[in-house]
């Protein structure tokens, strides 16, 4: 046992934790020395408790013990800051924290727990005295930061609502809880953070925020400043006055990068070789690209890119390709977007896309799935356009590339195949996460908004953002020598200028003609359960779904090819479970009308013949396969497979799909919509079955368990095309 005491001075208490970590994973000091690259004598000195060891040695020691150094850095920083101070007094009361940033992570070699009482002792020794903030909300805690306004302990009389992009909303909500209510102009104002992706918030604010959009924001923080001029351009006469002329200061920043599985990047010469959008465009046009690099098993070059109408990374990637073609790093004009060479490069980049998405979550979730398969992550995708912070967070074990409460996003072990960030040599755009106080916010709310921004800009809070991969609000890395993996914090980055408002609008309006088209079969469940009434609406599930599915059909472009099926057991020819309503074909005006009329004419009957329908739908899309399109099935169902014959399990379905395309030359992605709550009634686990099918085909499952949300879910589905 260690002779050190957890009640000693900060250096001794920290050494106690280091020794305890090594003992609990069952390693000798000699074994840690061999794994860390430091001598046994150096490690013995570092853990004798007389002085705090250097971070470089500490980081290597922790990693050698199988734990994550990033989770220990805040404790080391605070121990260093208080090493010469007297021990902190015990608090009268303490609160626990739901945030993960300040807790020790579980080692992959051994899951070790710390009792609450023992944890509080360590927190006190290291100076993390978690005093309950007067009236503060729940969430994570950070060391106190003094701001100009006083805190208030009485009942709150006003709320400052902040609509934040999904990649930082959970962390911002926890920081708002730590900030607590503050007093201004005689009012006690609390800060409340809601999560909404940048493009969706832009559309809602521009058309007029509705009750169905959630709480109306006083402050808007999209991932990038470009969304503000786009909102102004789309605003109605009534909403135009809402938007300030200029975006507010950045909260934190992150450069837009091309993320690539590390083995692929190293095969191209990373980190010594620089790449750009011109390279990406040429790689995309070569179906034998990876074979030429000695890796035929990786197939063609495949790109993941988010939809620029919704996602900042997708918008920045599109703009980056325009900048690179024009040859400018500062100036763009609207007529630049019309140049043939710009259209040619954009189309080359877009046509290497496997599919689009509203956020990078779909790509990262599928990467984690592929990471567990025999073929590994490179078999799924070659590169994804995303922010640097998502690369760092993904490598640290956050499957969604951010600190998030979303399903499947909880922190886990780091991936086997890490991602690395490539910084386009032509230049990068920064996601600057602006703090935009909307016009009309005055008095106490405006004062608290300014005070909260000052709190976010403090050095202590900027370090909190850095834990999840962000740079500071001045675009500088907070800890360039830290343990984060996959980024190049000391690399020279050429920063592109902010495009004018008219260029931004022109790029988005031109994108539909340049994007990769879709070859899609839409399948709608018409089983008898779709005739059930939805409480509080007076309508059946089928009646609610009809306008939403018409919207889905209308969302496809004239360059897309779309078809329509309905399905329920035994309704088709020869007892099949589906009826073709509109064959797959070019989405011209006549086809739009035909699809709309058939959706309106749907009637509910029969049981749910799910898996055989999906199998046949994939076969049909393969029969009309287009190498230059996104080939997919979009299927909506409110039930589980009710048939006693045919394919019975989602894994059996995936085996059948893969058996017909063993070489993987015609992948068809199955995007599913879990509609209504009956899928999981009585332990059926129908939603999980759809998740298995979608993930197994490199797609995504969407939830509309509340049938009244189906319209918003359809918008999310459309973002993939």
- CA neighbor of 615 nearest in space, from 698, 700, 693: 693
Q: What is the pLDDT of residue 682?
A: 61
Distance of CA 485 to the CA centre of its chain: 18
Rounded distance, CA 477 to CA 700, Å?
33
Q: Average pLDDT, stretch 152-158?
A: 86
Q: Is 158 helix (H, G, I), strand (E, B) or coil?
A: strand
Rounded distance, CA 557 to CA 517, Å?
8
Architecture of domain 10-125: Orthogonal Bundle (1.10)
Whether residue 175 is predicted with pLDDT greater than 80 in this model: the reply is yes
Q: What is the pLDDT of residue 375?
A: 66
Rounded distance, CA 246 to CA 244, Å?
6
- Helix 459-466 / helix 443-457 crossing angle, nearest 10 deg: 70
Alpha-carbon dihedral sign for residues 365, 199, 487, 108: negative
Confidence of residue 680 (pLDDT cuts 50, 70, 90): low
Q: Are 76 and 58 in contact, with CB atoms under 8 Å apart?
A: yes
Residue 634, beta-bridge partner list: 522, 671
Most confident of 52-56, 73-77, 575-579, 582-586: 582-586
Contacts 24+ apart (CB under 8 A), 279-286: 280/349, 280/352, 280/383, 281/321, 281/345, 281/348, 281/349, 282/348, 283/352, 283/382, 284/348, 284/349, 284/351, 284/352, 285/348, 285/352
pLDDT in tens, 491-549: 888 888 888 888 888 888 888 888 889 999 999 999 998 998 888 888 899 999 899 88
Helix (H) or strand (E) run with residue 384 in it? strand 383-387
Of 185-199, 312-326, 365-379, 395-409, the range with the lowest mean pLDDT is: 365-379
The topology (CATH level 3) of 255-430 is D-Maltodextrin-Binding Protein; domain 2 (3.40.190)
H helices within 161-197, ranges in order?
169-179
Q: What is the pLDDT of residue 446?
A: 97
Q: Average pLDDT, stretch 118-146?
A: 41
Q: Give the chain's end-to-end CA distance (angstroms, integer).
A: 60
Question: In this prediction, what percent of the chain has a pLDDT beyond 70?
Answer: 89
Task: Tell me which of 114 and 463 has the higher pLDDT.
Answer: 463
Q: What is the pLDDT of residue 415?
A: 92
Whether residue 192 is predicted with pLDDT greater than 70 in this model: the reply is yes
517-718 carries CATH number 3.90.950.10? no
Q: Average pLDDT, stretch 274-284?
A: 85
CATH superfamily for 158-247+434-466 is Periplasmic binding protein-like II (3.40.190.10)
**Would you list the domain boundaries of the chain?**
10-125, 158-247+434-466, 255-430, 517-718
DSSP string covering 465-510, please? Answer: HHTTT-B-TTS--S-TTSS--S--TTS--PBPPPPPHHHHHHHHHH
Whether residue 394 is predicted with pLDDT greater than 90 in this model: the reply is yes
pLDDT in tens, 11-31: 888 888 898 888 877 888 888
For 254, counting Cβ atoms within 10 Å of its Cβ (0-12 exposed, 13-18 middle, 19+ buried), the class is buried
pLDDT in tens, 627-637: 889 999 999 99
Whether residue 670 is predicted with pLDDT greater than 80 in this model: the reply is yes
Rounded distance, CA 276 to CA 382, Å?
15
Whether residue 279 is predicted with pLDDT greater than 50 in this model: the reply is yes
Question: In this prediction, what percent of the chain has a pLDDT beyond 90?
Answer: 41
Q: Average pLDDT, stretch 469-479?
A: 95
Q: Is 537 helix (H, G, I), strand (E, B) or coil?
A: coil
Whether residue 109 is predicted with pLDDT greater than 50 in this model: the reply is no
Residue reference for tokens 């046949």: 616
Same fold, 10-125 and 255-430: no
Task: Tell me which of 110 and 146 has the higher pLDDT.
Answer: 146
pLDDT in tens, 42-97: 888 889 888 889 888 898 888 898 877 776 776 787 777 776 443 433 332 223 23
Confidence of residue 453 (pLDDT cuts 50, 70, 90): very high
Q: Are 522 and 685 in contact, with CB atoms under 8 Å apart?
A: no
Averaged confidence pLDDT in the chain: 84
Q: Are 452 and 303 in contact, with CB atoms under 8 Å apart?
A: no
Rounded distance, CA 665 to CA 517, Å?
18
Residue 719, beta-bridge partner list: none
Model confidence, pTM: 0.71
Task: Tell me which of 52 and 439 has the higher pLDDT.
Answer: 439
What are the phi and psi torsion angles at 256 (to 5°)?
-75, 135
Residue reference for tokens 């086809």: 591
Q: Average pLDDT, stretch 577-583?
A: 94
Residue 246's CB is within 10 A of a number of other CB atoms, namely 10
Phi-psi region at 617: left, alpha or beta (left = phi > 0; alpha = psi -120 to 50): alpha
């Amino acid at each position: 046992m260690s002779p050190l005491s957890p009640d000693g001075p900060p250096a001794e208490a920290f050494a106690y934790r280091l020794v305890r970590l090594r003992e609990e994973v069952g390693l000798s000091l000699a074994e840690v020395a061999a794994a860390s690259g430091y001598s046994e004598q150096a490690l013995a000195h570092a853990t004798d408790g007389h002085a705090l060891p250097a971070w470089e040695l500490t980081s290597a020691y922790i990693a050698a013990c199988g734990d994550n150094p990033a989770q220990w850095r805040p404790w080391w920083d605070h121990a260093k800051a208080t090493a010469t101070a007297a021990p902190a007094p015990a608090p009268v009361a303490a609160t626990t924290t739901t945030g993960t940033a300040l807790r020790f992570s579980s080692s992959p070699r051994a899951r070790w727990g710390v009792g609450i009482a023992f944890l509080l002792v360590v927190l006190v020794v290291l100076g993390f005295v978690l005093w309950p903030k007067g009236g503060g909300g729940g969430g994570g805690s950070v060391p106190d930061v003094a701001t100009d306004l006083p805190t208030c302990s009485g009942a709150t009389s006003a709320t400052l609502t902040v609509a934040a992009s999904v990649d930082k909303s959970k962390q911002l909500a926890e920081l708002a809880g730590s900030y607590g209510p503050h007093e201004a102009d005689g009012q006690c104002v609390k800060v409340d953070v809601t999560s909404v992706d940048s493009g969706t918030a832009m559309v809602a604010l521009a058309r007029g925020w509705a009750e169905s959009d959630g709480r109306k924001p006083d402050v808007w923080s999209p991932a990038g400043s470009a969304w503000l001029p786009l909102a102004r351009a789309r605003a109605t006469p009534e909403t135009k006055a809402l938007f300030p002329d200029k975006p507010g200061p950045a909260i934190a920043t992150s450069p837009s990068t091309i993320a690539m599985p590390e083995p692929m990047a190293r095969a191209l010469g990373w980190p010594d070789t620089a790449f750009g959008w011109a390279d990406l465009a040429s790689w995309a046009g070569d179906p034998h690209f990876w074979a030429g690099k000695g890796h035929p098993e990786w197939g063609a070059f495949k790109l993941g890119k988010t939809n620029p109408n919704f996602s900042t990374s997708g918008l920045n990637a599109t703009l980056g390709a325009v900048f690179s073609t024009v040859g400018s790093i500062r100036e763009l004009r609207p007529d630049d977007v019309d140049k043939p060479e710009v259209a040619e490069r954009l189309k080359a980049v877009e046509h290497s896309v496997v599919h689009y998405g509203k956020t990078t979550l779909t790509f990262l979730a599928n990467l984690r799935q592929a990471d567990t398969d025999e073929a590994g992550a490179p078999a799924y995708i070659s590169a994804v356009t995303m922010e640097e912070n998502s690369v760092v967070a993904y490598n640290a074990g956050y499957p969604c590339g951010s600190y998030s409460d979303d399903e499947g996003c909880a922190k886990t072990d780091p991936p086997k195949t890490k991602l690395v960030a490539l910084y386009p040599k032509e230049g990068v755009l920064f996601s600057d996460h602006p703090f935009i106080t909307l016009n009309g916010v005055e008095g106490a709310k405006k004062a608290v908004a300014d005070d909260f921004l000052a709190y976010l800009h403090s050095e202590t809070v900027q370090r909190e953002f850095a834990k999840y991969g962000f740079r500071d609000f001045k675009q500088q890395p907070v800890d360039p020598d830290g343990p984060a993996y996959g980024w190049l914090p000391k690399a020279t980055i050429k920063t592109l200028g902010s495009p004018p408002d008219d260029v931004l609008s022109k790029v988005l309006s031109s994108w539909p003609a340049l994007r990769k088209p879709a070859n899609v079969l839409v399948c709608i469940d018409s089983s008898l359960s779709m005739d059930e009434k939805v409480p509080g609406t007076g309508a059946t599930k089928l009646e609610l779904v009809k306008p939403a599915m018409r919207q889905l059909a209308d969302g496809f472009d004239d360059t897309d090819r779309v078809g329509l099926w309905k399905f329920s057991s035994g309704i088709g020819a020869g007892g099949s479970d589906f009826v073709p309503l509109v064959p797959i074909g070019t989405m011209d005006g006549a086809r739009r009308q035909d699809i709309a009329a058939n959706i309106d004419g749907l009637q509910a009957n029969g049981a749910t013949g799910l898996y055989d329908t999906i199998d046949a739908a994939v076969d049909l899309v393969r029969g009309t396969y287009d190498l230059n399109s996104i080939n997919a099935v979009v299927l909506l169902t409110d039930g589980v497979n009710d048939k006693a014959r045919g394919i019975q399990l989602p894994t059996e379905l995936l085996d059948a799909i893969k058996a017909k395309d063993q070489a993987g030359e015609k992948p068809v992605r199955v995007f599913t919509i879990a509609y209504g709550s009956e899928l999981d009634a009585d332990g059926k686990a129908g939603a999980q079955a759809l998740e298995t099918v979608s993930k197994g085909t490199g797609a995504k499952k969407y939830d509309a368990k509340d049938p009244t949300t189906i319209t918003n879910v359809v918008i999310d589905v459309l973002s993939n095309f």
